[in-house]
Amino acid sequence: MTTSERDTELAAKLRGITGESSVLTRRSQLLTYTSDGLPTYRKWPALAVFPNTRNELIEVVRALALAKRTFVARGAGTGLSGGALAEGDAVVVGLNRLNRILSIDAENRLAVVEPGTVNAHLTRAANAHGLHYAPDPSSQTACTIGGNVAENAGGPHCLKYGVTLNHVAALTVILPEGELVTLGNADGEDAGYDLLGAFIGSEGCFGIAVDVTVRLTRNPEAIVTLLADFTTVEAAAQAVSAIIASGIVPAALEMMDNATIRAVEASIYAAGYPVDAAAVLLAEVDGLKAGLDVDVRVIEHLCVELGARTVRIAREEGERMRLWQGRKKAFGAMGRIAPDLIVQDAVVPRTRLPEILAKIGEIGRRHGIMICNVFHAGDGNLHPNIAYDARHAGVEERAHEAMREIMTVCISAGGTITGEHGVGLDKLDYMPLVFTPQTLDAMCQVRQVFDPERRSNPEKVVPVHSCREWYAVRGARA
Amino acid sequence: MILRSEQLAACTVTEVREEVRDARRRDEAIRIAGSATWMDAGRVVRAERLLSVSGLNGVIHYIPGDFTITVRAGTTLQHVAAMAAEERQWLALEPFGARSGTVGATIATGSYGPLAHAFGTPRDHVLGLRVVTGNGDLLTVGGRVVKNVAGFDLTRLFTGSWGTLGIITEATFRLRALPEVDESYALAVDNDPQVMDAQLRAISSASIAPYSVEMLNAALAQRLGVGTDTTILVRLGGNSESVRAQVKALSQLNTVGITSPEIWSSFRECEPEGATVIRFARRPSHLGGLWRSAVKRAAGALVHASVGRGVVRCIVNRDNDEQLTGERWWDPGSAIVERGADIPLHSSGPLAAVTCVRAGISRRIKDVFDPSNILNPGIMGDVG
């Protein structure tokens, strides 16, 4: 059977499960699914299927297992590491139609949702009970809970509230071979190995979540957002360290540099950031009303002491939202600078921030490219973004070379290559810089426990060649 | 239980790897020990050797401004607490058991204490590990930074695996700043079911953000000297204005009395030698019922519950632990033997087939890291 005959046969089989309109095969239809939020990568899947119900999803995965086909689960496609791309023989399994909130147990602060549920929709539904879902990636108005689980997504507020790992109580998973398994335990404690913890952040390589039981968080009684502006990036970074050292746990502590500020202020997301500032800090404290003002005054005092020109304190919801919109839509605003953008992600120990930011600036200047920094300063989680025009010859290569240098700098400072975007395709080459061959091999083998034939999101996260080399060494030794 | 204990001690990672390789060559199992405070866990471990890693201790890396600390696995919790306190920081974990327990054992057993209410269990504190697997390989998993999604999360697999996948040699934790005020209060709880349930609901929805909320039965309250009957202990932290307001909110529920901050140390260490400890859990809204069933069955025991987490922990005399486990009264929910006789009590799933798949995954994971089954065999029941 030729490839196209196999695809036709598979498409017919999948249509039998999901109905005619839920399977896409034509290139014009598949175009949308050839990239994710990091459009420097483009891959063509063989076809795409969109199950409409839980049972359809289970049947689809079983049909793919029977046909020995590789597949890639995809939520909203907002990922930033090329993780949701499918190539060649691989089938995209789109989960965005599985978007129902199945139940909310307000008293126990738990909700069960389908994987395609949009993050912000969950929070909106929980708000009716005075609750919210704490992890809040910048893409929260579009990204899905299933995708958040796959990436172990964070967001500005994970500084205080933790990442996806800390907010998932249980998962029902369909394994690549078609078996269903429950990981975690929403009704009590979990016993045995922490398979739930291992699954979260496995980037779609261990199977597909059929439903997710998340923990909800009580809405704070009060929230205050502060905007401090600085004339040097170093001073802003020092203020970050001082705030953390004071013992206050801000709900969020975000930094934007001048390039980002100007992009935001020139866009429809203009938030009133001072355009001549070298950097602004967006700090937020929340929780019980009593005592919150004490924390606000401490943060204000520390910022001023470390050279802030002004500290704006927003208590009113409208003003807070405006300050936040500039931050959350900063990536979009960067579209004004140049048509192409690489949104990057790395983590360094917080105390190394001033030094690393200076090095990133130097790398950008040396390669003649523009780097905008907008990031979770409180966590040391950097997002250096390169805005460039790929139509100009050689620019894309320079951008990628600059990124490689930035990653190397972060690793040698004791940091890591990704704090929340995942490895996907984009960071594969950097994995051997962070992990030893033994550790990479262990990751390969754990993946094979869940997915023995490596059909679920193949060739992502761990470089296959590094595993093979290790197998070869082992074979020779035996 | 060690059948024929040959005592070995490793002070370096190289020595740990050599011991593992040697054990593997001879096909002899190893029982891994830190301070050996948990050695009477009571489950049968078929091991020919006892390997102590308590000599593998000390701080490797501590930059206070990063709020992370990297220590060798044999370092005691007490030592980490003292180091961090000098910088007005703490590891907000404080598990039940002796303070002389090691960080390696704490992570391996997934031990936690009353602070889990606000700060979670070891899986929420550990950023990275170095581990010697049953193959003798040295793995470096996770990292030293507070956020990290590079690669599959092996850190979570090793945490709580009771040493059956590898010997932890080094760990990096997230630290927190010590609060300006850290105070604890006791309030009496009524034993009438309806009143108790209403009180529990009131505490859950009160305008407080406690570090810990633990309900103690009469025996435990008396032993700790905080009450004569069922009592709730609440630990509050933050700036003084916030704590004052929270105390006020608490006192609207019932009469509250301040207790010594030392109460938590006494509480953590209240378990008698050789006791059986079993944790039962349900969704927190069912805590009252779970509590009453447990207290009724565990006559004479020390019983306490994490109110926000719905976990009831029973400390019973080993001779009469059967009263707690004779029938499956906790369904739905979970029952976990923390230490004590080898009673298979793993959480119940709705479908037997699903649980079976999960057991298969766990066994294959064990095969990846310890194919010869030489690390703590038997300690986790089926899996180990």
Q: Which of A189, A379, A449 sits opposite B147 (nearest CB)?
A: A379
Q: Can you give the residue ranges of every domain in chain B?
A: 1-178, 181-268
Classify domain A3-94 by CATH architecture: 2-Layer Sandwich (3.30)
- Residues 283-342 in B contacting A (C-alpha not used; CB under 8 Å): 283-285, 310-311, 330, 332-336
Q: Which of residues 63-122 of A touch B (CB under 8 A)?
A: 105, 107-108, 110
Whether A220-337 and A101-218 are alike in CATH topology: the answer is no
What confidence tier does B384 reach under pLDDT thresholds 50, 70, 90?
Answer: very low
pLDDT in tens, chain A (478 residues): 788 899 999 999 999 999 999 999 999 999 999 999 988 899 999 999 999 999 999 999 999 999 999 999 999 999 999 999 999 999 999 999 999 999 999 999 999 999 999 999 999 999 999 999 999 998 999 999 999 999 999 999 999 999 999 999 999 999 999 999 999 999 999 988 999 999 999 999 999 999 999 999 999 999 999 999 999 999 999 999 999 988 899 999 999 999 999 999 999 999 999 999 999 999 999 999 999 999 999 999 999 999 999 999 998 999 999 999 999 889 889 888 888 888 899 999 999 999 999 999 999 999 999 999 999 999 999 999 998 998 999 998 999 999 999 999 999 999 999 999 999 999 999 999 999 999 999 999 999 999 999 999 999 999 987 675 445 554 443 3
Question: Is B181-268 a CATH 3.30.70.2190 domain?
Answer: yes
pLDDT, tens only, B260-312 = 999 999 999 998 888 889 999 999 999 999 999 999 998 889 999 999 999 99
Q: Which residues in chain B touch residue A291, judged by CB atoms under 8 angstroms apart?
A: 238-243, 245
pLDDT at A328: 87
Q: Is B149's Cβ below 8 Å from some Cβ in A? A: yes
Report yes or no: B85 at the A interface, CB cutoff 8 Å. Answer: no
Q: What is the pLDDT of residue A2?
A: 83
B238 and A188: CB-CB below 8 Å? no
Which residues of chain A make contact with B144, given a CB cutoff of 8 A? 349, 414
The model's pLDDT over B174-218, given as tens digits with 9 standing for 90+, comes to: 999 999 999 999 999 999 999 999 999 999 999 999 999 999 999
With CA atoms as reference, the chain B residue closest to A460 would be: B151
User: Of B110, B150, B365, which has the smallest distance from its Cβ to A423's Cβ?
Assistant: B150
- Residues 214..253 of A with a Cβ closer than 8 Å to B: which? 221, 241, 244-249
Q: How close B63 gets to chain A, by Cα (Å)?
A: 8
Contact A288 B357 (CB under 8 A): no
The shortest CB-CB distance from B150 to any of A249, A289, A417 is to A417
Q: If one looks up domain A220-337 in CATH, what number appears?
A: 3.30.70.2190
A420 CB within 8 Å of a chain B CB: yes
B335: confidence class by pLDDT, cuts 50, 70, 90: confident
- Which pLDDT value is given to residue B46? 80
pLDDT-derived band at B383, boundaries 50, 70, 90: low
Which residue is closest to B331 within chain A, CA to CA? A187
A475 touches chain B (CB under 8 A): no
Q: Is B139 on the interface with A (CB under 8 A)?
A: yes
The residue with greater pLDDT, A441 or B352, is A441
Q: Which CATH class is domain B1-178?
A: alpha beta
- Tell me what ipTM this predicted complex has: 0.95
Give the per-residue pLDDT at A207. 98
Residue the block writes with tokens 């147990």 = A105
Quote the mean pLDDT of chain B.
90
Q: Which of A112, A194, A441 to mutate to test the interface with B (most CBs of B within 10 A)?
A: A194
Distance from CA of A109 to the nearest CA of B (A): 9
From chain B, the residues in CB contact with A422 under 8 A are 149
Which of A203, A87, A207, A84 minimizes the C-alpha distance to A462? A203
Which residue out of A189, A244, A417 would a mutagenesis test of the B interface target, given it has the greatest number of B Cβ atoms within 10 Å?
Answer: A189
Average pLDDT over residues B227-256: 96
Q: Where are the domains of chain A?
A: 3-94, 101-218, 220-337, 435-477
Q: What is the pLDDT of residue B351?
A: 40
Interface membership of A192 toward B (CB under 8 Å): yes
How far is the CA of A291 from the CAs of A248, A286, A316, B176, B180, in angstroms? Answer: 11, 10, 18, 19, 12
Write down the architecture of domain A101-218 according to CATH.
Answer: 2-Layer Sandwich (3.30)
